[in-house]
Amino acid sequence: MIRASTLRPIFIAGVALMATLLAACGDNNGGLVNSATPPTSDFKPVPVSPIIGDVVLGNKDAKIELVEYAALTCHVCRDFAKQIFPRLKAAYIDTGKVKYIYRDYPLEAGPDGKASDGFGVVLASVARCKGADKFYEIVDDVFGNQGDLLDAAREGKALPLVADIAMKHGMTLAEMRTCIDFQPDLRASIKKSRNDGSDKYKITGTPTIIIDGVKVDDHGWENLSKVIDAKLNGTPLPAAPAAGAAPAPATPPAK
């Protein structure tokens, strides 16, 4: 489990390193931070069009809607993205049977359980920075590099790796910085996604899967495919796991 107390210092430790990286691109003041008030510097935000809100993957008119609440810093979410999601995509999303929506659920939170700023919000801001067309590509790339990102973050060296991912998907450093530090509506929407999910679905860990508005506790492939097939065929849903059965693991949100 990755807690807020771990991630917040990680981000702050990377600020000086990112300032050095940006200085090489003509910004001598740096000052990249994740706060409600942008840092004072000579940097001028550039035009960006981040995607705020849901991005539907697949047939928008599909019979079934599957929503995943996930965190880009959650290792269980990474495993789901790399092991189970490709099977869901091939069997149900690409075939037009299911529309899929990824919703941000950053792990960092305050004592009240509400989302707070941290590395997860930074990564989500970057994923959303180039709009809907690039969103799922960047999410997949972040999950694919999650281990390296978190290892580097523990040494305060994550932001250059984030910049590598951003530039790979056609983002400039100026666009990335603008999305991280100068888009308060974007940051607020990412945090609101967590808060709304908690309030509506009583989420206790990530990933959390919602199928047609109902939380599915077991997000393993066998159970998810049974639930989806049952809904497609109009047959009764499979019984919930017996008492004492272990559902697929999830990463609890930070407190």
Evaluate whether 130 touches 138 at the Cβ level (below 8 Å).
Answer: yes
Distance of alpha carbon 59 from alpha carbon 33, whole angstroms: 38
pTM over 0.85: no
What is the CATH topology of the domain spanning 4-30+52-233? Glutaredoxin (3.40.30)
Structural domain spans, the chain: 4-30+52-233
Evaluate whether 69 touches 206 at the Cβ level (below 8 Å).
Answer: yes
pLDDT of residue 255: 52
pLDDT of residue 10: 35
Distance of alpha carbon 245 from alpha carbon 240, whole angstroms: 10
Helix (DSSP H) and strand (DSSP E) numbers for the chain: 11, 5
With 0-12 CB in 10 A as exposed, 13-18 as middle and 19+ as buried, what is 179? buried
Structure tokens at 147: 């281990």
pLDDT of residue 131: 98
In sequence order, the β-bridge partners of residue 99 are: 65
User: What residues have CB less than 8 Å from 66, skipping those under 6 apart?
Assistant: 88, 92, 98, 99, 100, 101, 209, 210, 211, 228
Series of mean pLDDT values for 10-residue runs along the chain (255 residues): 34 36 28 42 93 98 98 98 98 98 97 95 98 98 97 92 98 97 98 97 95 96 97 80 54 62
pLDDT of residue 37: 45
Q: How far is CA 29 from the centre of its chain?
A: 29
What residue type is assigned to position 22 of the chain?
Answer: L
User: What residues have CB less than 8 Å from 60, skipping those under 6 apart?
Assistant: 99
DSSP 206: B
Distance of alpha carbon 6 from alpha carbon 227, whole angstroms: 36
Closest C-alpha among 129, 127, 134 to residue 47 = 129
